[in-house]
Amino acid sequence: MSSLSRRSTLWRNRRTPVGGLTPYRTVPIRPQTSHLVAALLAVCAALLLPLAAGAAPPSKVEQGSHLYGRYCLACHGLDGSGVGAPGHTIGAGPLRVQGQQQATAPSLRGVGALAADFYLRTGYMPLRRVGDQPRRSRVFFDEGEIQAITAYIASLGRGPAIPTPQPSRGDVGQGLHLFTEHCAGCHQIVAEGGYVTGAVAPALENATDVQIAEAVRIGPYLMPRFSRQQISDRQLDSIVAYVRYAKHPDDPGGWSLGHIGPVPEGLVTWFIAAVATIGFCVVIGTRLRSR
Amino acid sequence: MKDRLRTLLVLVVLYVLRRRLPRRPPAPEHAPEPPTQRIVPAGTPEPRAELLAIGLLLFGALCAAAFVAVYVLDRLPRQTQLLGLSLGLALLSIAAALIVTGKRLVVTEELEHEYPPEEHPEEQEEIVQTVAESGSRLTRRRLFTLGLGTAGGALAVALLAPLASLGPGIDLDSFVRTPWRRGRRLVDEDGKPYRAADIEQDTFYTAFPEGADREQLASPLVVVRLPPRDLDLPRENAGYAAAGIVAFSKICTHAGCAISLYRTPLFPEAEPKPALVCPCHYSTFDPATGGTVIFGPAGRKLPMLPLRIDGRGYLRAAGNFDGPVGPSWWGVRARRPFA
Amino acid sequence: MIRKLVRFLDQRTGTAPFTQKALRYLFPDHWSFLLGEVALYCFIVLVATGTYLALFYSDSTADVVYHGPYVPLQGQHMTEAYRSVLDISTSVKAGLLIRQTHHWAANVFVAAIVLHLLRIFFTGAYRKPRELTYWLGLTILMVALLEGYLGYSLVDDLLSGMGLAIGNGVALSIPFIGASLGAFIWGGPFPGSSAFFPRMYIGHVFLIPALIAVLLAAHLALVALRHHTQFRQGRETERRIVGVPTFPGQTPRSLGLLLAVAGLLVLLGGLVQINPIWLWGPFHTYSSTNGAQPDWYLGWLIGALRLMPSWDWTIGNYTLVPNPFWGGVLFPLVVFGFLYVWPLLERRFTGDRAFHNLLDRPRDAPVRTAIGFGLLTWVLLVFLAGASDRVFVFFGLSYSTQIWFFRVASFVVPVVVAFVAHRVCLELQAGERVERRRELAIGEARAEARRPLS
């Protein structure tokens, strides 16, 4: 992996109710061999524990733990503790040190299959350069590997399963209403993406139904996290239905110009209409003759 | 009925015949002499250009007819595009015909002419003289002019005065009056009251005063919950939070858009701290410090509403905002909101 | 046939001499002289399409529930005004075509005026005796900006509603009187009384078009009275105008241009979607969306509003200059103020008080061209700053970096551009002098060669 910095962002411990962060261990982790030995021990321990999220075949979890050890451990630490290898510089940023520990990445305990599935299938993780905002990029793992890592992460405590949104049960109108209230401020009213101070809220044209549902429940990077209490599963169905519509809305007016409003309209005004009218004038009128 | 039709047919035939029959030459009235000198010079014919122009005109006519057809035939797919294409092409092809006519079929004369005179000194003098001599009967010229001016000015003011009825006058109380009085419950867009326990961390809520007009600028709130130890409220906002729940006016103090962005870090160690952001010009407010501006052009902190939790666990206002809601104006820092 | 008509009219109006003069009135011929006509024809299209739309629009802000054909808005609360525009766009035959043509015409109208203004400025057409014409034209531009803003705000969709809120914020930011002015216009604090939309409507469909028509008529009358300016190309002088007569020469060209502009606008209106308000949804004071922008001709103002650092100038407890004033009021005042004052400034600094019927080419007036380019660059950079959030989303360029870049560049780059423009003008002039000398020398050499040997 590329040079690590502590600004890798992933998952926080969801068992925290109102208030603070999960306390981290006081012992700093040393890298290299002892690291890997500890990882193997953790894997064995994990194998002996019943998996809360349902019985996955032990081989999947084991395979997942191997992959985890290779690609995720350095930042996310043993058992997804969030304290990775120390001594790596973290990129310039609002790093806040909590107590004695320096977390290098969010803890993965209790994040469930939902989070792992989201981050892996979108290519958000592994983070290309630690410290960046996770963005949709190349999907690093193949299907089997994704399932394995997901199974392993799901085994790290009780966490939500992969959601199954049903947009056909939702209502597009209700979805527009909810999307305007909760999402349009960042993602733009037709989900074309937008700027938030310090981050980009991506356009949703490549987001699958499941990924939308997952993101709403996770709140990745600087996005708020909407629980079932705030947005029920049925309401989420409507939001997903709306986003599906917004990807290809009806465009009775013609060429849609990207659905982002007056900026491309101004470009058409100048680069098509103004050019054309100047063209008309040049054809009709004459040019300056030399003196 | 049949008789009428027959009469009509006869009339039509007669009319057509009359048109085709040779006419009597009209009685010579004031037939002018044939022109001795051409005004517009003669030009050579250009049959190709003529054909092109006629062709374009016919094409234009076809497109115009197509427009009417598309208009009448309702429910065509892409109806607007077909309508625009047909009418647009009709206009453009007739335009092209006219341009061809103008450039190739009409004699392009390049004529010369004198510019009109720069000025007319004699007439100017006459005007000045006329005006000057007209006042021969006035003895108190200055006083009279003053009188006219005063009357005119006063009349203008009088005629403009009723325009004041357009506005509410100089009373600016409406800018500081809010529907939030102590004890008012916070409700969501459907009117359901918020319980403190409903408010989770890392997300945001829009709240309104129970029973009040939601479109009023001072009505909408943005409510978030922060860990109490992250709160760093200034002295004037002490006690405004209820168990870490803070509420602010949703209306940005820069130019009045609704603040509908809330950034909240998933990994606070490495990500920017929670902030409310306005999508218009990206003014960014820190909820932990009472809504102070941390980025963007807003010049005034976000008005904060004190909250309390009642006996049943519902969120209620514990008073009014700490400052008027909305964009800044002259007295915005001098007045306190009232309910 | 023609003779009968002409006789009929002359006997009843006595205008044959005037008509004969008008028919042979001369139009100096250059393509850039047609830009003003393009703006005029856009205005004609605006009035025609606008009249149609006004017959279907409702200016009421009463709350209604939508039950029309557009599915995502079924059952939503909205104002009657928004619903009427939804109906025009979905249920009135050719309604969407005419609505989009109207909106494209508004955008192109302002663009044409700007192009025309650039031509007027860089050729010095505003000089004596045409200062009044120039000032009238500038006023038409300002009024056109307001008219367009009101027009798209009448729809009461989410985007334009946010724009109205900002307009209100800018009005409030005027020192001392801002709040009273805002309350006066809106009938109270934003969103205003129920009379606000009807007043905006009457302003947009009657008062302001009438004002534009009057200004335009005066503008055209002045052009005709003093006759059009011209470039010196051959026989043109300050006293002699050379051009094409109205009839038969100019008529088919002008008519052709009218139909071409109308055709272009209708093509755009049918083929390119503009302001799809059904996607934005209705406006509420408590709603907003990312990426909201005004129409292009107000983009310079949103750029200015975003670039300003967070200054609210206060004296004690009183807010003398709220922040939106700088970008929303002072900036456009400075730009327009400079344009208004420019003919007087130029007269003062060049001492040139003569009549001018001949135009300069831009290179012939290097200082004017440099200043014009500088001002244009300033406005353009501020304008570009207004789109920096979309640039960020599209290209990944950090927003705050862009803001800082534009803050600096918008003052440094215009100066550089002005110097470069000045330099280029001088170089072009020098090049022409060399060319002329060369031709003279060749001509002399040829004459020399043809002279019989003596």
| CATH code (residue B274) | 2.102.10.10
In the predicted model, is pLDDT for residue C143 greater than 60? yes
d(CA C20, CA C23) in angstroms, rounded, equals 5
* Burial letters C261-278, b for 16+ CB under 10 A, else e: bbbbbbbbbbbbbbbbbb
B187, β-bridge pairs: B193, B208
- Report residue B6's pLDDT band, with 50, 70 and 90 as the boundaries: confident
Cα(C277)–Cα(C100) distance, integer angstroms: 11
User: Which has the minimum average pLDDT: A48-57, A73-82, C179-188, C342-351?
Assistant: A48-57
Nearest-CA distance from C286 to chain A in Å?
9
Q: Give the residue-averaged pLDDT of B13-31.
A: 61
Q: Tell me the sheet residues that pair with A201.
A: A194
Q: What are phi and psi of C124, to 5 degrees?
A: 70, 30
Compute CA B192 distance to the chain's CA centroid, rounded to the nearest angstrom: 36
Could you give the CA distance from residue B206 to residue B248 in angstroms, rounded to a whole number?
A: 10
Single out the residue of B201, B220, B206, B221 nearest to residue B264, CA to CA: B201
Instruction: Kindly report the CATH class assigned to A33-155.
Output: mainly alpha
Closest residue in chain B to residue C268, using alpha carbons only:
B84
Listing from the earlier edge strand, what are the strands of the sheet with B245-249? B186-187, B204-209, B221-225, B245-249, B304-305
- Superfamily for A167-247? Cytochrome c-like domain (1.10.760.10)
In C, minimum Cα distance to A173 occurs at C72
Tell me how many residue pairs between chain B and chain C have CB atoms under 8 A apart.
Answer: 288
| Cβ pair C267:B256 closer than 8 A | no
Residue pair C159/A260 in contact by the 8 Å Cβ criterion: no
pLDDT of amino acid A38? 63
Structure confidence at residue B304 (pLDDT)? 97
**C289 contacts B280? CB cut-off 8 A:** no
The full set of domain ranges for chain C reads 361-454
With cut-offs at 50, 70 and 90, classify the pLDDT of residue A67.
Answer: very high
What's the rounded Cα separation, in Å, for the pair C96 and C112?
24
User: In chain A, which among 75-134 make CB contacts under 8 A with chain C?
Assistant: none
Q: What six digits make up the tokens of C181?
A: 């002015």
Q: What average pLDDT does this structure show over A253-279? A: 96
- Of the candidates C453, C325, C346, C348, the residue with the CA atom closest to the CA atom of residue C121: C346
Q: Given this model, what pLDDT does residue B21 score?
A: 59
pLDDT for res C46: 98
By the 8 A CB rule, do A226 and A216 touch?
A: yes
Contact flag A254-B265 (C-beta cutoff 8 Å) = no
Distance of residue C166 Cα from the nearest chain A Cα, in angstroms: 16
State how many domains chain B has: 2
In a domain, residue B287? The reply is yes
Res A105: pLDDT: 87
Instruction: Count the Cβ atoms, other than its own, within 10 Å of residue C255.
Output: 18
The rounded mean pLDDT for chain C is 95
Identify the band that residue B24 occupies on the pLDDT scale cut at 50, 70 and 90.
low
Q: Would the pTM count as exceeding 0.90?
A: no
Quick: pLDDT tens for C255-296. Answer: 999 999 999 999 999 999 999 999 999 999 999 999 999 999
Q: Between B88, B220, B295, which is nearest C266 by CB?
A: B88
Tell me, what amino acid is at B100? V
Last residue of a domain, one of B62, B84, B106: B106
Q: Which residues pair with B88 in a beta bridge?
A: none
Percent of chain B beyond pLDDT 90?
Answer: 71
Q: Looking at the partner chain, which of A106, A181, A283 has a beta carbon nearest the beta carbon of B267?
A: A106
For residue B245, tell me if it sits in a domain. yes
Looking at residues C377-399, what average pLDDT do you find? Answer: 94
Residue A17: predicted pLDDT? 40
Rounded to whole angstroms, the Cα distance separating A210 from A208 reads: 5
Q: Does C24 touch chain B (CB under 8 A)?
A: yes
Would you kindly state where each structural domain of chain A is located, as residue ranges?
A: 33-155, 167-247
Given B71, B86, B106, which residue is the final one in a domain? B106
pLDDT of residue A126: 86
CA gap A268, C393 in Å, rounded: 20
| Contact: C291, A188; criterion CB under 8 Å | yes
On whether the CB atoms of residues A113 and A161 are closer than 8 A, the answer is yes
ipTM of the complex in this document: 0.93
Q: Which other chains touch chain A, taking contact as 3+ CB pairs less than 8 Å apart?
A: B, C
Distance set, CA A114 to CA A63, A211, B132, B154 (Å): 18, 9, 94, 76
How large is the average pLDDT for residues C373-392?
Answer: 95
Residue numbers of the domain that contains B74: 45-106
Beta strand residue intervals within chain B, DSSP E: 111-114, 186-187, 204-209, 221-225, 245-249, 261-263, 275-277, 284-286, 292-295, 304-305, 307-309, 315-317
Please indicate if any CB of chain B lies within 8 Å of the CB of A48. Answer: no
Distance, CA of C314 to CA of C331 (rounded, Å): 20
- For residue C281, the chain A residues in CB contact (below 8 A) are 176, 180, 189
Q: Which chains touch B (3 or more CB pairs under 8 A)?
A: A, C
* Highest mean pLDDT, choosing among A50-64, B12-26, C64-78: C64-78
Distance, in Å, from the CA atom of B255 to the CA atom of B278, rounded to the nearest integer, reads: 10
Question: Is A92 at the interface with chain B, CB within 8 A?
Answer: no
| Three-state SS annotation for chain C | CHHHHHHHHHHHHCCHHHHHHHHCCEECCCHHHHHHHHHHHHHHHHHHHHHHHHCCCCCCCCEEECCCCCHHHCCCEEEHHHHHHHHHHHCCCCHHHHHHHHHHHHHHHHHHHHHHHHHHHHHCCCCCCCHHHHHHHHHHHHHHHHHHHHHHHCCCEHHHHHHHHHHHHHHHCCCCCHHHHHHHHHCCCCCCCCCHHHHHHHHHHHHHHHHHHHHHHHHHHHHHHHCCCECCCCCCCCCEEEEEEHHHHHHHHHHHHHHHHHHHHHHHHHHECCCCHHHHCECCCCCCCCCCCCCHHHHHHHHHHHHCCCCCEEECCEEEECCHHHHHHHHHHHHHHHHHHHHHHHHHHHCCCCCCCECCCHHHCHHHHHHHHHHHHHHHHHHHHCCHHHHHHHHCCCHHHHHHHHHHHHHHHHHHHHHHHHHHHHHHHHHHHHHHHHHHHHHHHHHHHHCCCC
- For residues C127 and A35, give the distance between their C-alpha atoms in angstroms, rounded to a whole number: 83
**pLDDT(C454) > 70:** no
Residue B264, in any domain of the structure: yes
